[in-house]
Amino acid sequence: MKKTITMKKYILILLLVVFTYSCETTSTAPVDNPAAGYLATADGKSDARDADPANLDLWDNYIEAHNNQNLDAIREMNADSTQQFGGFRIFDAQGGVVEGVDAHVERLSGWFQAENPKWNTFFSYTMKVDGQVGEWVISGHVLTRNVNGTEVSTYDIVDAYIEDGKIGAFWVYQRESVPQE
């Protein structure tokens, strides 16, 4: 009888070991916020990672303020200056540079009256570049405007720099839309 109890104990221990071993998992969890891309500069490549999703809300609100032609809201969302780039600036699709919040608002005021531009965003992504102050939103939209009575649309990509919850600078890349037949 004693032999049977001992054998049962061995079998029980063996089953517990097998069960415990079979439940063991190896960790393949990704590194916290892994690099989603990179930025190449003269100094080499810096990893780019997902950034604060609140940046997407800021950018969406910024576009909404443009669509509503709300110059006061736009002015409020622009940074007077940034650590990364100095004063607020825009690098437009035609190679021009708008420097300063006042110049931006003045330019928008004239453009709103002349062409009534409207933005329709189709994607946005927020990222942080290792070693840089601030974060970015890369966003694409269709820009529709009235040029001399004709509706004209372009596809734009914007790289918007965000620092301390404000828009500090942005670059606009543009492609004319192809008429649909």
CATH of the domain at 118: 3.10.450.50
Query: Which residues span the domain enclosing 139?
Result: 50-176
Q: Say what the pTM is.
A: 0.79
Average pLDDT score over the chain:
88
> In one letter, which amino acid is 16?
L
How many domains is the chain built from?
Answer: 1
Say what the pLDDT of residue 68 is: 98
Percent of the chain predicted with pLDDT > 90: 72
Residue 4 in any domain: the answer is: no
Residue 34 in any domain: the answer is: no
Say what the pLDDT of residue 178 is: 76
Residue 72 in any domain: the answer is: yes
Residue 153 in any domain: the answer is: yes
pLDDT in tens, 67-82: 999 999 999 999 999 9
Residue 61 in any domain: the answer is: yes
Residue 116 in any domain: the answer is: yes
Residue 36 in any domain: the answer is: no
